Copies of this chain bind each other. A is one copy, B any other.
């Protein structure tokens, strides 16, 4: 390993001169030739500042952690891309952790925040945990930003415009002429599910469609939950003609189950999903979907966290721009007869 001392020796100057020049210290009072000599020496020796030395001195690691419960979730890829891009631009690297343990003393949080491995943490809590269950995790006001969840006034949070997303999806079915709708939604404890329900209901209310009798399942966002939801739909007394699925993975499961039960999509049942992804265009039939901005959410989470670290500002942001956008494919059509 090559250290500042090595560079200093080669350039024939002091260690601190090297440190100042290389880190662009504004109070630099070094002659141009000296500066050049130092830079040349660093280049020739291929000097790289040691992370631990810097972190120990400055009490900053320039690392952001992100903790998610489940890498399989389709949101993860886009989200992670956004996080990585924004982090790189802000001079941070990203450390990924996985945990479905929301307790504040969970191993991950201890290792990451407790041991000072990261400056801040982006946390996607496990879907089945109610927001207030987070209380303990947040009581010391740590540098944490929640995604898809909120804890008012404590830490920052970033949400997607779930209400608008569900509303757009629902309006699409209503526009096609559907009146008997179902919502295949996330777990009862999920905040996003609550918000998507709200959008669903608003759209119905605006269209003057009575809500009563409409089916809503709260089984979760995974493919097998979509499958189970289809069973519920088939068992319903008045079978819906159109269904809004709150997550693309669940929609894929639902579609597969529909096939197996001989339910034709879209002839017997129109399906629209909230959250678009490459998988949605490769199903049969290709899924009509509302794009949710997970990439933007990742970016916003980093921005919010960095602002928190730099200035202590706690922000709650909802990604409304660009708005959720409908892509009509082949899983939706007017109700037959």
A-to-B contact residues, CB < 8 Å = 1, 48-53, 55-56, 59, 61, 63, 71-72, 76-77, 80-81, 84, 93-98, 110-112, 114-117, 223, 252-253, 255-256, 259, 278-279, 281-284, 286
Once bound together, how far apart are the Cα atoms of A2 and B72, in whole Å? 37
| Chain B neighbourhood of A53, CB < 8 A | 56
Once bound together, how far apart are the Cα atoms of A252 and B279, in whole Å? 8
Q: Which of B55, B71, B93 contacts A80 (CB 8 A)?
A: B71
Q: What are 15 A-B interface contacts by the 8 Å CB criterion? A: A50-B56, A51-B61, A51-B117, A52-B56, A63-B117, A71-B77, A93-B95, A93-B111, A94-B95, A94-B96, A252-B279, A256-B282, A256-B283, A282-B283, A283-B284
Given contacts A93-B97, A95-B95, 20 further A-B contacts (CB under 8 A): A1-B116, A49-B115, A51-B55, A51-B117, A52-B52, A52-B55, A52-B61, A53-B56, A63-B95, A63-B117, A71-B77, A71-B81, A72-B278, A93-B117, A95-B96, A223-B282, A255-B284, A256-B281, A256-B286, A284-B284
Q: Is the CB of A112 within 8 A of B93?
A: yes
| Chain B neighbourhood of A282, CB < 8 A | 223, 252-253, 255-256, 283
A59 CB to nearest chain B CB (Å): 8
| Chain B neighbourhood of A80, CB < 8 A | 71, 96
With both beta carbons as reference points, the residue of chain B lying nearest to A47 in the complex is identified as: B114
Centre residue among A63, A76, A93, A278 by max chain B CB count within 10 A: A93
Once bound together, how far apart are the Cα atoms of A115 and B252, in whole Å? 43
Once bound together, how far apart are the Cα atoms of A84 and B99, in whole Å? 11
Q: Is the CB of B284 within 8 A of A259?
A: yes
| Chain B neighbourhood of A117, CB < 8 A | 51, 63, 93
Q: Is the CB of B93 within 8 A of A48?
A: no
A62 CB to nearest chain B CB (Å): 9
Contacts A93-B111, A278-B223 given; does A50 touch B116 at CB 8 Å: yes
Q: Is the CB of B278 within 8 A of A256?
A: no
With both beta carbons as reference points, the residue of chain B lying nearest to A114 in the complex is identified as: B48
| Chain B neighbourhood of A76, CB < 8 A | 71
With both beta carbons as reference points, the residue of chain B lying nearest to A49 in the complex is identified as: B115
Once bound together, how far apart are the Cα atoms of A50 and B110, in whole Å? 11
Once bound together, how far apart are the Cα atoms of A71 and B48, in whole Å? 28
| Chain B neighbourhood of A253, CB < 8 A | 282
| Chain B neighbourhood of A110, CB < 8 A | 48
